[in-house]
Amino acid sequence: MNKELANFIRELKKDFKPKKTDITTPVSCWFEKDLLNDKVVDAFVIIFKTRGCSWALESGCSMCGYFNDSLWSDVSDKELLQQFESALKRYKGEKFVKIFTSGSFLDDNEINPIVREKILKKLYETAEKVSVESRPEYITNKSLEKIKKIVGLKIFEIGIGLETADDDIRENNINKGFTFNDYKKATDIMKKNNIKIKTYVLVKPPFLSEKHAINDAIRTIEKIKNITDIVSLNPVNAQNNTLVNYLWKREQYRSPWLFSIVQILVEGKKILDDKRIKCDIVGGGSIRGAHNCGECDKNYLQAISDFSLKQDTRVFNNLKCSCSEKWLDQLDLEDLGFGSLAKMYE
Amino acid sequence: MQFNVKKSDELSRIGELLINDKRIVTPNILSVSTNRFKAFDKADIILSNNKVKTNKPVFKFLQTPLKLDEFFFYHIDEKTEFIIIEYTSQLFKKSKNFVDLIINLRKKIGYEKIIYTPSIAMPSNLALLCYMGIDLFDTTSAIIAARNKNMFFADGEYSIKDLIELPCNCPICNNINKKPSELSFEDILNHNYYMLFNEVKQVRNIIKTGNLRNYVEKKVKTNPLYVTILRNLDMNYYEFLEEQTPVVSNKTIYATCSESFSRSEIKRFQSRVLNRYCKPSCVKILLLLPCSAKKPYSFSKTHKFFRRAILDTVNPDIIHELIITSPLGLVPRELELVYPAANYDIPVIGVWNEDEKKMIKTLLTKYLSKNKYEKIIVHLPKGITSFIKDVIKKPIITCIDSPTSDESLEKLKITLQESMVGFEKIDRYERTRQNLESLACYQFGKSIGKKLLKDTKIFGRYPDLMIIENSKQLGMLTKDRGFISLTLAGAKKIESSEKYRVEIADDFIPKGSILSPGILNADEDIRIGDEVLIFRKKSLIGIGAAVMNGLDMKKSSYGEAIKIRHIL
């Protein structure tokens, strides 16, 4: 572990106070298009308010600000179920449900196994596929045992934030707190239990140039192509109280260009072949998120979103903007600048 | 690879970098060479991560991961030992942090290491950056400007869409038949390269003349950020700048803006007048006079009038002349040859601004509390008299309209004559001796000054005066230096003093000059241009003029430290 990095991240959260909110309603829930058995369907999304990601409470990842939505104090089983009840009021029987907790759904400290089972049982009454997220340390034969029974022949998917296949970057740029080997072990267990693997790949961790970030993402995809079932790119955006935000405010970090994401998607698609690669961009087109010049962002975001569903790289064919020269300049020059060129055109 | 500083001017310097028998002069600009960008034809050095076919030196820096603890930091390249500032462009915008980092870095690493600030150099700021002692830059800002369709000018960058004609006579602007708005990226880039490289040549030439500060004060006006940086530097690092500022120089200070008032020469002069200088003890009557455009003052027409009025009285040597001037404040007549009293120029319109008034009032109040007079006669234009009156007890005002009108001069003469009634006649020779004693106090400090002039006689015609004791010459004042140059006998007389001493190693016989490696110890108050007493094995062996300051004499591993004047 990079203690210096971990301490710095911890220090940035020192004065953070969770906002006072209604514990009986979820952070948010909504509908979005996604694929289920190769068909575009409406998926139902719930984000639970929990005590927060155990790792984030310990120190946390350099780019992750989801703890801002967490309560940082225990949430009772009753309150979690109340949140679930509240979300169900909007649920219209969608076949695909995604659950986020801003942490790990399989972490017993975040969600009591009894609550977890109740939620899943209820959802699988109607849903064909439920997707959750977890750090690898909570993915064990034991934790999956009961879930498997509830899932039956339906689909259960766990998303793991591997971020990069490079242990050095994961340790020294992200402070992720686990290794590629931990990921590998967790996915082996998932495979044995017939659970779908979604792997999150981070686009542009801090302290990497745009060019290195692209290369790192592509190398990561190459390395996990035979492990994962689906790759989901996560372009970094500057979220409050994070190291990335600290750098961003000092103009030492720029979220990736949309061109970079397109390049990774195109290269990634070649590598993954019929496996799916997608990208949901948080804060896309804003100065804190992945963006281009501002003029062309909308078109690129639309194309990326289209691609994520259609998996057809031809959606990028007709896109063009003169700001791509600036992006190419940055790829070309940034590594000569000792950090000076992180935001060379802003 | 080897780096030598060839010429310094305050913190700025001309250096020579020897790379495989190629000589590169600094300050210089690394020309970026990448897949997309060809290096500039006229560049001396290339910066590239690729293999480049060229006979010019190519630098490739290994970028280590950026540090976390201190986000504004520097990095020492393993191969070249260059000090490279990380996140320079971000740091540069935070003027105070930028100044703090660069100056403290220089303090820490000394003058023999190269500092490189990536990506910030532009024609408008290069002089300022070099003034801070930065040696290397690169061409990335020219590329960024070109991509944004901006052309470099000497004072900044301008969008091609705002230009009505091509701006200069660089080969691009000269040979191209296009409107500015039709210029291609490559055209703009090449123009920008020319502008950047023109500027670095210009700056090197100016460092060579020893007057970069005048140029910097002009250039910083192109951007408030640059002014802020200069002001931060002056405000927070006066002592450090002062250490590097010669006490003897021929360059002219143009005090054309408020930043000029914070120049280290000026602040040092003011502080020495208050802290080292003491008036000739025999004078009883103070006469305040205006400055003249021509320097030294007594060579000017106006001051010749004043001198005549004084000499026409019965006891002229009881009068002490003190010149009131901006930006120096107070210049006693005996110091008129001293740098920078003899070497400044300021625009005069007869109206004084509040800062000048405050500065003069403060200095005069402090001066008068240390130097006592029986009477004070004010022969100054109304504009000055009006604001200094209230810091003087019972001023006698002699100026009627202009200080040089017949009426005013006549009144001055009569008033002087009247005011000296009852005072003992002062001996001309004794007064001249005391004048030199006052100057020596300014130059060496009180104890050496008084010791040097004790029991001496002065011969010669002002300004070339010789200090003689028992028919042996101790030293000489020349207009050229404005300071007293000592002889061996002069040095002998003050040798017991701890100040202005340099102890050299005993394994060589100095001739002509002494290099810094030969110096064992040196008084840290020694400044460039100072007289230094050269000791070997604790005995005085010679006298010379300092070429570097005392601190550098101790620390530097190469370079001329002392020009020997006399040696045993």
Q: What is the DSSP letter of A240?
A: T
Which residues in chain B are contacts of A251 at CB distance < 8 A? 89-90, 93
Q: Is A255 left (phi over 0), alpha (psi -120 to 50) or beta?
A: beta
Distance between CA atoms of B330 and B348, rounded to whole angstroms? Answer: 16
Structure tokens that stand for B52 in this block:
């480049």
What would the pLDDT profile of B497-516 be if each residue is shown by its tens digit? 999 999 999 988 888 999 99
pLDDT of residue B66: 60
Nearest to B66 among A251, A339, A341 (CB): A339
pLDDT of residue B351: 87
Distance from CA of B198 to the nearest CA of A (A): 23
pLDDT of residue B403: 95
Average pLDDT, chain B: 94
Which residues in chain B are contacts of A171 at CB distance < 8 A? none
Domain count for chain B: 3
Main-chain dihedrals φ then ψ at residue A36, nearest 5 degrees: -135, 120
Nearest to B68 among A5, A328, A333 (CB): A5
Which residues in chain B are contacts of A326 at CB distance < 8 A? 147
Amino acid (1-letter code) at residue B557: S
B287 and B406 co-located in one domain = yes
B41 and B145 co-located in one domain = yes
Average pLDDT over residues B471-495: 96
* In the predicted structure, residue B540 carries a pLDDT above the cut 70: yes
Distance between CA atoms of B234 and B211, rounded to whole angstroms? Answer: 16
Nearest to A333 among B63, B69, B140 (CB): B140
Which residues in chain B are contacts of A8 at CB distance < 8 A? 68-69
Contact A336, A249 (CB under 8 A): no
Distance from CA of A45 to the nearest CA of B (A): 37
CB pair distance less than 8 Å for B86 and A338: yes
B91 and B210 co-located in one domain = yes
Strand order in the sheet with B115-116: B58-59, B45-47, B28-32, B136-138, B115-116, B83-85, B74-76
B136 and B184 co-located in one domain = yes
Strands (E) across B130-195 are located at 136-138, 150-153, 156-159
Tell me which residue range forms the domain holding B515.
Answer: 456-567
CB pair distance less than 8 Å for A252 and B85: no
Q: Is B20 left (phi over 0), alpha (psi -120 to 50) or beta?
A: left
Domain boundary (B176, B193, B222) is at B222
CB pair distance less than 8 Å for A338 and B61: yes
Domain boundary (B363, B397, B419) is at B419
Which residues in chain A are contacts of B118 at CB distance < 8 A? 336-338, 340-341
| Alpha helices, DSSP H, located in B371-487 | 382-388, 406-419, 428-444, 446-453
What would the pLDDT profile of B182-207 be if each residue is shown by its tens digit? 999 999 999 999 999 999 999 999 99
Q: What is the DSSP string of A175-212?
A: -----HHHHHHHHHHHHHTT-EEEEEEEE--TT--HHH
Distance from CA of B10 to the nearest CA of A (A): 28
Residue B159, beta-bridge partner list: B150
Of chain A residues 200-219, which have a CB less than 8 A from chain B? 207
pLDDT of residue B74: 82
Residue A156 in contact with partner chain B when CB distance is under 8 A: no
- Looking up residue B206, the CATH number of its domain turns out to be 3.20.20.105
| Alpha helices, DSSP H, located in B50-153 | 88-93, 95-109, 126-131, 140-147
What would the pLDDT profile of B366-377 be if each residue is shown by its tens digit? 999 999 999 999
pLDDT of residue B418: 95
B553 and B412 co-located in one domain = no
Optimal mutation site among A321, A340, A344, interface B, most CBs of chain B within 10 A = A340
B296 and B401 co-located in one domain = yes
B368 and B478 co-located in one domain = no
Structure tokens that stand for B132 in this block:
């801070």
**In this prediction, what percent of chain B has a pLDDT beyond 70?**
98
User: How many CB atoms within 10 Å of residue B181?
Assistant: 12
What would the pLDDT profile of B82-104 be if each residue is shown by its tens digit? 999 999 999 999 999 999 999 99
Distance from CA of A103 to the nearest CA of B (A): 26
CB pair distance less than 8 Å for A336 and B86: no
Tell me whether residue B130 is in a domain: yes
Tell me whether residue B259 is in a domain: no
What would the pLDDT profile of B300-343 be if each residue is shown by its tens digit? 999 999 999 999 999 999 999 999 999 999 999 999 999 999 99
B477 and B395 co-located in one domain = no
pLDDT of residue B259: 94
**How far are the Cα atoms of A67, A206, A292, B297 from residue A238, in angstroms, in the given order?**
13, 10, 15, 64
B295 and B412 co-located in one domain = yes
Distance from CA of B122 to the nearest CA of A (A): 14
Nearest to A333 among B32, B66, B69 (CB): B32
CB pair distance less than 8 Å for B90 and A336: no
> Can you tell me whether residue B227 is helix, strand or coil?
helix
Q: Burial code of B192-212, b = ≥16 C-beta within 10 A, e = fewer?
A: bbbbbbbbbebbbebbeebbb
CB pair distance less than 8 Å for B147 and A207: no
Average pLDDT over residues B222-238: 97
- Looking up residue A46, the CATH number of its domain turns out to be 3.20.20.70
CB pair distance less than 8 Å for A332 and B36: yes
Q: What is the DSSP letter of B280?
A: -
- Looking up residue B309, the CATH number of its domain turns out to be 3.40.50.10630
What would the pLDDT profile of B397-414 be if each residue is shown by its tens digit? 999 999 999 999 999 999
Domain boundary (B205, B222, B239) is at B222
Residue A5 in contact with partner chain B when CB distance is under 8 A: yes
Tell me whether residue B441 is in a domain: no
CB pair distance less than 8 Å for A338 and B85: yes
Tell me whether residue B437 is in a domain: no
pLDDT of residue A125: 96
Which residues in chain B are contacts of A7 at CB distance < 8 A? none
pLDDT of residue B459: 96
Round the CA-based radius of gyration of chain A to a whole number and report it. 20
pLDDT of residue B70: 55
Residue A346 in contact with partner chain B when CB distance is under 8 A: no
In A, minimum Cα distance to B87 occurs at: A340
Tell me whether residue B294 is in a domain: yes
CB pair distance less than 8 Å for B118 and A326: no
Interface of B with A (CB under 8 A): 32, 34-37, 47-49, 61, 63, 65-66, 68-69, 71, 75, 84-90, 93, 118-120, 138, 140, 143-144, 147-148, 185
CB pair distance less than 8 Å for A345 and B147: yes
pLDDT of residue B72: 62
Which residues in chain B are contacts of A254 at CB distance < 8 A? none
CB pair distance less than 8 Å for B34 and A325: no
Burial class (CB in 10 A: 0-12, 13-18, 19+), A10: middle
Contact B268, B255 (CB under 8 A): no
Tell me whether residue B188 is in a domain: yes
Domain count for chain A: 1
Residue A45, beta-bridge partner list: A30, A98
CB pair distance less than 8 Å for A250 and B68: no
Which residues in chain B are contacts of A337 at CB distance < 8 A? 89, 118-119, 140
H/E element holding A326? helix A324-333
Give residues with Cβ within 8 angstroms of B470, minimum separation 6.
Answer: none
Optimal mutation site among B69, B82, B87, B91, interface A, most CBs of chain A within 10 A = B87
Indicate the angle between helix axes B212-219 and B224-236, nearest 10 degrees: 140
pLDDT of residue B509: 85
Distance between CA atoms of A344 and A327, rounded to whole angstroms? Answer: 10
Which residues in chain A are contacts of B35 at CB distance < 8 A? 332
CB pair distance less than 8 Å for B143 and A247: no
CB pair distance less than 8 Å for A344 and B144: yes
Contact A325, A233 (CB under 8 A): no
Tell me whether residue B551 is in a domain: yes
Average pLDDT over residues B446-473: 96
- Looking up residue B540, the CATH number of its domain turns out to be 2.30.130.10
B402 and B464 co-located in one domain = no
Tell me which residue range forms the domain holding A67.
Answer: 3-345
- pLDDT (tens digit, 0 to 9) for every residue of chain A, 346 residues total? 899 999 999 999 998 999 888 999 999 999 999 999 989 999 999 999 999 999 999 999 999 999 999 989 999 999 999 999 999 999 999 999 999 999 999 999 999 999 999 999 999 999 999 999 999 999 999 999 999 999 999 999 999 999 999 999 999 999 999 999 999 999 999 999 999 999 999 999 999 999 999 999 999 999 999 999 999 999 999 999 999 999 999 999 999 999 999 999 999 999 999 999 999 999 999 999 999 999 999 999 999 999 999 999 999 999 999 999 999 999 999 999 999 999 999 8
* In the predicted structure, residue B1 carries a pLDDT above the cut 90: no
Distance from CA of A341 to the nearest CA of B (A): 7
* In the predicted structure, residue B71 carries a pLDDT above the cut 60: no
In A, minimum Cα distance to B46 occurs at: A336
pLDDT of residue B507: 87
Nearest to B118 among A4, A247, A340 (CB): A340
Tell me whether residue B252 is in a domain: no
Residue A332 in contact with partner chain B when CB distance is under 8 A: yes
Nearest to B87 among A8, A252, A333 (CB): A252
Give residues with Cβ within 8 angstroms of A9, minimum separation 6.
Answer: A59, A60, A61, A62, A175, A242, A243
* Short-list B514, B529, B326, B510, CA closest to B444: B529
Distance from CA of B48 to the nearest CA of A (A): 8
pLDDT of residue B20: 87
* Short-list A212, A225, A208, A128, CA closest to A174: A208
